[in-house]
């Protein structure tokens, strides 16, 4: 399902987190749980991976992660503020040390001039550290391509939070 390179990256990331006794949680929208699937592909990941939230709908973002409905209404689900709120909510709800959140437009439809297909907002949080956000414009590289690119970016953010 995942490339050997992604699996090796995940394996190393989990080993580093385990060495530092850090627990990881994920909050995913457009990736639909792919980061969680990748991390749990690694035997022994349960010592590091706490849980994942697949919050595909706006309602799920609100109910599971505590993202304010007004924030979604004002900024849109695909936005920096919502990605940040998702990361903060996942960290709080999972009682983990590190969270990563992903929300974007994977296509093929749903894009607008302001939020085109391929726009993905990611945020990572760690207790007692500044939250990190990145907006990626992968372009219209296909639904699977966008989702896998977001998974790779998410791993990089988790790595940044571990370090």
Report how many helices (DSSP H) and strands (DSSP E) the chain contains, helices first.
6, 5
Nearest-angstrom CA–CA distance, 135 and 82: 12
Superfamily of domain 4-162 in CATH is: CinA-like (3.90.950.20)
Q: Angle, to 10 degrees, between the axis of helix 58-65 and the axis of helix 80-94?
A: 40
pTM more than 0.95: yes
For 120, the token pair is 């993905």
Phi, then psi, of 134 in degrees rounded to 5 = -140, 140
Summarize pLDDT for 57-98 with one digit per residue, the tens. Answer: 999 999 999 999 999 999 999 999 999 999 999 999 999 999
Q: Rounding to the nearest 10 degrees, give the CA dihedral for residues 131, 116, 105, 118.
A: -80
Summarize pLDDT for 34-61 with one digit per residue, the tens. Answer: 999 999 999 999 999 999 999 999 999 9
């Amino acid at each position: 399902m995942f490339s050997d390179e992604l699996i090796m990256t995940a394996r190393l990331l989990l080993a580093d987190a385990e060495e530092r006794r850090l627990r990881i949680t994920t909050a995913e929208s457009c990736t639909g749980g792919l980061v969680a699937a990748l991390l749990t592909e690694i035997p022994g990941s349960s010592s590091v991976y706490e849980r994942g939230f697949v919050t595909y709908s706006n309602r799920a973002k609100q109910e599971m992660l505590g993202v304010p409905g007004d924030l979604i209404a004002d900024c849109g689900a695909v936005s920096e503020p919502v990605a940040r709120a998702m990361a903060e909510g996942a960290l709080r709800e999972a009682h983990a040390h590190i969270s990563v959140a992903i929300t974007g437009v994977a296509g093929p439809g749903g894009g607008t001039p302001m939020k085109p297909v391929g726009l993905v907002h990611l945020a990572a949080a760690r207790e007692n550290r500044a939250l990190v956000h990145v907006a990626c414009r992968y372009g219209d590289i296909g639904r699977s391509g966008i989702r896998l690119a977001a998974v790779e970016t998410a791993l990089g953010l988790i790595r940044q939070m571990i370090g």
